[in-house]
Amino acid sequence: MKKILFIAMIGISLYANDKASTNLSDELRALLSQEMQFIKSGMDDMLYAIVSNDYKTLGETAKKIQHSYILKQEIKPEQKQEINQKLSTKFMEFDHEFHETAQDLASFAEFEDRENVMKSYSSMINQCVRCHESFATHRFTNFESE
């Protein structure tokens, strides 16, 4: 846990200017950063699992991403309140949809359903892009020109 927290603290600076997190407390920004870093790593792992035909790793990783949803974490009541007050409904919808898709992908991996695994993974990538272009243009500056 300490290692994850350390990695999250390093990642804070990466996300400090995101529209979705500019008015958040440092503690909550760190939690969101931790979730984003975990998702990035998980997406990389899932891609490798897909191209390796490793459904076991794919399903396990998708489940971990599904359960990384910030509102499902053990957070303080005041953090949950801050999330509900400061993060837009659209951001929360994107985040929720993303984690639901991870759940779907885990189910498809369990049945080794390659076609739906590919659709779900593609959908997750599209959801990342949609969220980043809406809320993280300071972090992902290539979206600013679109």
Q: In which band, very low, low, confident or very high, does the pLDDT at 22 lie, cut at 50, 70 and 90? A: low
Would you say the C-alpha torsion 72, 77, 82, 88 has a positive or negative sign? positive
CB 42 within 8 A of CB 58: no
pLDDT, position 68 = 86
pLDDT, tens only, 37-56: 999 999 999 999 999 999 99
Q: What distance in Å separates the CA atoms of residue 18 and residue 140, rounded to the nearest whole number? A: 9
The CA-to-CA distance between both ends of the chain, in Å, stands at 39
Place of tokens 């272009």: 133
pLDDT, tens only, 91-129: 889 999 999 999 999 999 999 999 999 999 999 999 999
- pTM exceeding 0.85: no
Q: What distance in Å separates the CA atoms of residue 77 and residue 53, rounded to the nearest whole number? A: 41
Per-domain boundaries in the chain: 88-138
Alpha helices in the chain (DSSP H): 2-15, 26-51, 55-67, 77-86, 89-110, 114-135
pLDDT, tens only, 70-85: 766 778 888 888 888 8
Of 31, 124, 20, the C-alpha closest to 11 is: 31
CB 42 within 8 A of CB 59: no
Write the burial class of residue 29 (CB in 10 Å: 0-12 exposed, 13-18 middle, 19+ buried).
Answer: buried
